[in-house]
């Protein structure tokens, strides 16, 4: 068995609050509303070389350069053309170097949910294939399961996104 | 009023020494004339400001701590009030700058001390406290504010001992240094007060008692860990304070219009700083960001087909007016951040002058390029390192006049300070015609200090770089301004934190020069827009020599790939920009595309791009540390349509090409 991801950190009371939910394929994910700065329609993204595929590049958010991560690719979903409903959720994440604004591309934004303590459950163990480290827990709301994401973990791999450059000789 | 035994006896050595050293002053102190106010009486007056509950402990503790070791004499800290003021007034602008900076530094120190209180074993924190202390001391020394310098020097000694592990850091030490921060803040504020024509606030007694405590701590009379003792200032004998109490309404006039300060409340606000305010650079950044966006929106509206279909004189006039105003706004907002480097150079000039005088080494200072504009933050941050480098040059680099003459050099040394643009960087050079770095001595010193292995034999350039290592110093004795081995370490750290670089060029007997290379983080960059695939990138125009579409016979193939291009007489390596950066390696036929010849660090290469678009001034923006490891890219620029174009880094690209061929070899 690998490490029990969330076991040690699960704190139901800390997870209670408002969440912005969004869809990736048929799955529903959510991030704390307090982390969300704004939601913008998909826009032209400037590609940055030498980064993993899921880092789509940078966008200009009113004069600020912010990196954008495609969450579909990050979570291993097949790539899909962006549509009218595709959104960039601008979030504030705590990285090793401090707090940063970042954009995450999602299929579409669903709603803002008030998640109560009774609705929150610990992430079950799925075995080894699925990483549960970046899930804070799950919420069962109206018969649907929403995954509560730990954005700092999803986006903050060692505090940087870029990978070392593959040796191109 | 009763005189405490302890305080009375503590005063005795000081009084005795004073009588010996300066009978005139001793007479003045005993006479207690109303005018001029005796210095000792003045000194006592500061006590109420430090009305601290710990004072209650004094009788018990101080009885135990009866000083046997020599303690500082009070006149060491008050003699210079008039001479000091003359020095400070001779350059009040510099003095005000010093005051603002020193208070900033003390604020940092205070915060770090509080951290240290929690993690006394953290030596990094000690270094973080030591450095700004050193800077405050150095600056005070440069300005001739001797009282501040002396107090700082004593406390610095203590910190140095702590840094080297000879003193255990505990509550006592932290308390003492915290108190030193308070005393220094008060003294520095007082300099500002006097500059503004206010009477001197007595700080001497505080300073003396502080220094006495530090000395006692150092000589081991206070066991580490024992509670700090607030010394018995001659409180029971207090005469009516001659200096204004900070709470007196007399200061209200000064408070109005003075810069808000985050110093302790009982320190009067500094007068005379109302003409300039310190603004968080993030606020300036926000303005620049928003204005940049305004320009984009303005041009989008102006080019809107629906709008341009309207033929209306008034609309056209208003649109033109809007364009002018937004352009004006942009220029102004950019100018907010850009300042000439003159301010930093002036401080360096002052340092060079003072040190050359102190050290008895006549120096001519030559300044060029002081109008070179740099980001305000850069100018602020580069000042300390430049001062350290200049100090080093005069203190260590330049020989004494007799030695110089013996070596056939003019007795007057020359130090030159210059700034100029080079490509997308600003180069600041501190150059002296002194003895040059002593490679052998640096090597020996580094070995002794364990910075390198005893049997290591690094290349000369690597040896020279050792002077940037923490804890390295070849000076035999600790002087007021240099020789503690913090200077060059701070220099490198500060420059690297600005994403810059510092290089040394030195020649034995001929002198050395320090070359500081700084990127223009926010500076406007003259760029050349090129297209690679679907992306537009910005090449710094300064690095671009020419662009051409080579004739097919001028492109030379190696293993089936176009690898060289002949430009007139020379053959240059040919590199596909898209391929080297990893932005899609479309095999381009150079004779159908465009070759941009880039020169960097003396080598020229031909970069193949799909298209050369146009020249444009862009604002350099950092991509953030998320992309810190991306090579060949220096930042991002917001282009006319609101999209971001990557700003390429010719230096990095040339390095990548070099690395690539090295790997292949």
| Angle value at C-alpha B203, between B198 and B209, nearest 5 degrees | 180
CATH code, B98: 1.20.120.160
CB of B663 closer than 8 Å to CB of A169: yes
CATH code, B307: 1.10.287
SS (H, E, C) B423-483: CCEEEEEEEECCCCCCHHHHHHHHHHCCCCCCCCCCCHHHHHHHHHCCCCCCCCCCCCCCC
Shortest distance, CA A126 to any CA of chain B (angstroms): 31
Q: Which domain holds residue B36?
A: 5-244
Please state, in angstroms and as integers, the Cα–Cα distance from residue B180 to each residue in B50, B133, B156, B209, B211, following that order: 12, 10, 10, 10, 9
Residue B272: inside a domain: no
A51/B627 CB distance under 8 A:
yes
Looking at B519, B542, B568, the residue that finishes a domain is: B519
Q: Please check whether residues B319 and B449 belong to one and the same domain.
A: no
Residue B630: inside a domain: yes
Shortest distance, CA B295 to any CA of chain A (angstroms): 10
Residues 248-307 of chain B with CB under 8 A from chain A are 288-293
Q: What pLDDT score was predicted for residue B293?
A: 77
A&B contacts, CB < 8 Å:
95
Q: Which residues of chain B are within 8 Å of residue A64 when distances are taken between CB atoms?
A: 289
A60/B633 CB distance under 8 A:
no
Shortest distance, CA B506 to any CA of chain A (angstroms): 35
Q: Please check whether residues B93 and B236 belong to one and the same domain.
A: yes
Q: What pLDDT score was predicted for residue B196?
A: 73
Q: Please check whether residues B331 and B444 belong to one and the same domain.
A: no
Q: Please check whether residues B497 and B633 belong to one and the same domain.
A: no
Instruction: Please count the residues of chain B.
Output: 665
Please state, in angstroms and as integers, the Cα–Cα distance from residue B465 to each residue in B425, B515, B652, following that order: 21, 12, 22
Shortest distance, CA B644 to any CA of chain A (angstroms): 6
Q: Which residue, among B330, B624, B659, B664, would best test binding to A if mutated, counting the most A CBs under 10 Å from its CB?
A: B624
Three-class secondary structure of residue B198 per DSSP: coil
Q: Looking at residues A7-33, what average pLDDT do you find?
A: 82
Q: Which residues of chain A are within 8 Å of residue B624 when distances are taken between CB atoms?
A: 65-67, 100
Q: Please check whether residues B41 and B149 belong to one and the same domain.
A: yes
pLDDT tens sequence across B124-183: 888 888 888 888 888 888 777 878 888 888 888 888 888 877 777 877 777 788 888 888
Q: Please check whether residues B62 and B87 belong to one and the same domain.
A: yes
Residue B264: inside a domain: no
B293/A63 CB distance under 8 A:
yes
The sign of the CA dihedral B268, B272, B274, B276 is negative
B631/A169 CB distance under 8 A:
no
Q: Please check whether residues B307 and B401 belong to one and the same domain.
A: no
Q: Domains in chain B: how many in total?
A: 4
Residue B257: inside a domain: no
Q: Please check whether residues B39 and B165 belong to one and the same domain.
A: yes
Q: What pLDDT score was predicted for residue A118?
A: 82
Residue B125: inside a domain: yes
A95/B622 CB distance under 8 A:
no
Nearest residue of B to residue A156, measured between CA atoms: B626
Cβ burial, residue B319 (10 Å; 0-12/13-18/19+):
middle
Is the ipTM of this structure higher than 0.85?
Answer: no
Of A62, A97, A166, the CB nearest to B293: A62
Q: Please check whether residues B178 and B72 belong to one and the same domain.
A: yes
Residue B252: inside a domain: no
CATH code, B561: 2.30.30.40
Q: Please check whether residues B305 and B365 belong to one and the same domain.
A: no
Q: Which residues contact B362 (CB under 8 A, 6 or more apart)?
A: B356, B401, B411, B412, B413
Q: Which residues of chain B are within 8 Å of residue A47 when distances are taken between CB atoms?
A: 534-535, 583
Rounded CA-CA distance A87/A76 in Å is 18
**Token pair for residue A23?**
């869809």
Please state the domain extents for chain A: 12-155
CB of A82 closer than 8 Å to CB of A42: yes
Rounded CA-CA distance B65/B379 in Å is 48
- Paired with A95 in beta bridges are A98
Rounded CA-CA distance B206/B351 in Å is 28
Report the CATH number of the A12-155 domain.
2.40.50.180
B346: phi then psi, degrees, rounded to nearest 5: -60, -40
Q: Is the pLDDT of residue A39 over 90?
A: yes
Residue B226: inside a domain: yes
Shortest distance, CA A50 to any CA of chain B (angstroms): 6
pLDDT tens sequence across A82-94: 888 899 999 988 8
Pick out chain B residues at pLDDT < 50. 1-80, 221-222, 224-274, 476-485, 665
Q: Please check whether residues B17 and B163 belong to one and the same domain.
A: yes
Q: Which residues of chain A are within 8 Å of residue B622 when distances are taken between CB atoms?
A: 65
Shortest distance, CA A62 to any CA of chain B (angstroms): 6
Q: Please check whether residues B209 and B304 belong to one and the same domain.
A: no
């Amino acid at each position: 068995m690998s490490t029990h991801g969330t076991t040690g950190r699960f704190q139901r009371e800390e997870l209670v609050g408002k969440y912005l939910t969004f869809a990736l394929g048929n799955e529903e994910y959510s991030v704390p509303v307090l982390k969300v700065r704004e939601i913008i329609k998909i826009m032209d993204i400037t590609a940055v070389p030498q980064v993993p595929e899921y880092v789509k590049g940078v966008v200009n958010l009113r004069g600020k350069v912010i990196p954008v991560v495609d969450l579909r690719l990050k979570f291993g979903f097949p790539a899909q053309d962006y549509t009218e409903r595709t959104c960039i959720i601008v979030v504030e994440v705590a990285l090793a170097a401090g707090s940063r604004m970042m954009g995450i591309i999602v299929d579409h934004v669903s709603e803002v949910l008030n998640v109560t303590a009774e609705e929150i459950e610990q992430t079950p163990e799925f075995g080894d294939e699925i990483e549960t480290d970046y899930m804070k827990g799950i919420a069962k709301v109206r018969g649907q399961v929403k995954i509560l994401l730990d954005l700092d973990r999803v986006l903050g791999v060692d505090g940087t996104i870029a990978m070392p450059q593959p040796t191109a000789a | 009023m009763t005189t405490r035994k302890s305080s009375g006896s503590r005063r005795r050595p000081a009084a005795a020494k004073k009588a010996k050293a300066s009978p005139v002053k001793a007479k003045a102190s005993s006479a207690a004339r109303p005018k001029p106010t005796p210095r000792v009486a003045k000194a006592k007056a500061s006590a109420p400001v430090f009305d601290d509950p710990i004072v209650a402990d004094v009788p018990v503790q101080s009885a135990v701590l009866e000083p046997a070791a020599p303690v500082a004499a009070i006149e060491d800290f008050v003699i210079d009030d008039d001479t000091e003021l003359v020095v400070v007034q001779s350059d009040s602008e510099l003095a005000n700058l010093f005051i603002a900076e020193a208070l900033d530094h003390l604020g940092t120190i205070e915060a770090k001390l509080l951290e240290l209180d929690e993690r006394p074993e953290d030596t990094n924190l000690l270094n973080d406290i030591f450095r700004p202390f050193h800077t405050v001391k150095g600056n005070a020394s440069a300005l001739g504010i001797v009282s501040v310098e002396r107090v700082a020097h004593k406390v610095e000694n203590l910190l140095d001992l702590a840094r080297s592990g000879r003193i255990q850091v505990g509550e006592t030490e932290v308390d003492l240094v915290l108190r030193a921060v308070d005393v220094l803040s008060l003294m520095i504020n007082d300099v500002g007060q006097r500059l503004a024509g206010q009477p001197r606030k007595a700080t001497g007694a505080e300073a003396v008692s502080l220094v006495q405590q530090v000395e006692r701590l150092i000589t081991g009379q206070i066991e580490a860990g024992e509670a700090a003792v607030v010394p018995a200032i001659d409180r029971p004998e207090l005469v009516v304070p001659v200096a204004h109490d900070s709470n007196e309404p007399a200061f209200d006039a000064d408070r109005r219009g003075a810069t808000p300060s985050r110093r302790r409340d009982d320190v009067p606000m500094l007068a005379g700083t109302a003409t300039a305010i310190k603004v968080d650079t993030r606020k300036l950044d926000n303005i620049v960001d928003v204005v940049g966006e305004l320009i984009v929106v303005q041009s989008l509206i102006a080019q809107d087909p629906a709008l341009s279909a309207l033929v209306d004189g008034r609309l056209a006039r208003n649109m033109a007016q809007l364009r002018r105003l937004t352009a004006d706004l942009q220029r102004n907002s950019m100018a907010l951040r850009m300042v000439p480097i003159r301010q930093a150079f002036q401080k360096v000039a002052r340092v060079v002058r003072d040190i050359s005088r102190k050290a008895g080494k006549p120096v001519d200072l030559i300044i060029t390029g002081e109008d070179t504009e740099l980001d305000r933050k850069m100018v602020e941050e580069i000042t300390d390192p430049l001062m350290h480098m200049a100090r080093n040059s005069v203190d260590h680099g330049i020989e004494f006049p007799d030695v110089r003459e013996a070596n056939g050099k003019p007795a007057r040394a020359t130090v030159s300070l210059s700034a100029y643009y080079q490509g997308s960087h600003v180069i600041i050079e501190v150059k002296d015609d002194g003895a040059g770095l002593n490679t052998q001595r640096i090597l020996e010193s580094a070995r002794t200090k364990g910075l390198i292995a005893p049997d290591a034999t690094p290349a000369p350039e690597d040896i020279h770089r050792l002077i940037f290592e923490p804890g390295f110093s070849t000076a035999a004795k600790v002087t007021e301004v240099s020789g503690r081995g913090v200077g060059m370490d701070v220099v490198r750290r500060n420059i690297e934190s600005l994403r810059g670089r510092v290089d040394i060029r030195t020649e034995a007997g001929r002198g050395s020069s320090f070359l500081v290379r700084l990127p223009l983080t926010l500076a406007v960059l003259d760029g050349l827009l090129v297209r690679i695939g679907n992306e537009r990138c910005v090449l710094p125009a300064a690095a671009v020599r020419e662009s051409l579409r080579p004739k097919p016979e001028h492109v030379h193939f190696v293993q089936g790939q176009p690898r060289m291009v002949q430009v007139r007489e020379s053959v240059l390596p040919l590199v596909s920009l898209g391929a080297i950066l990893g932005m899609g390696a479309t095999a381009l036929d150079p004779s159908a595309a465009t070759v941009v010849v880039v020169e960097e660090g003396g080598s020229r290469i031909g970069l193949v791009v799909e298209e050369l678009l146009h020249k444009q001034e862009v604002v350099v923006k950092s991509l953030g540390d998320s992309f810190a490891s991306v090579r060949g890219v220096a930042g991002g620029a917001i282009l006319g349509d609101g999209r971001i174009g990557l700003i390429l880094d010719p230096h990095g690209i040339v390095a990548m090409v070099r690395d690539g061929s090295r790997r292949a070899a």
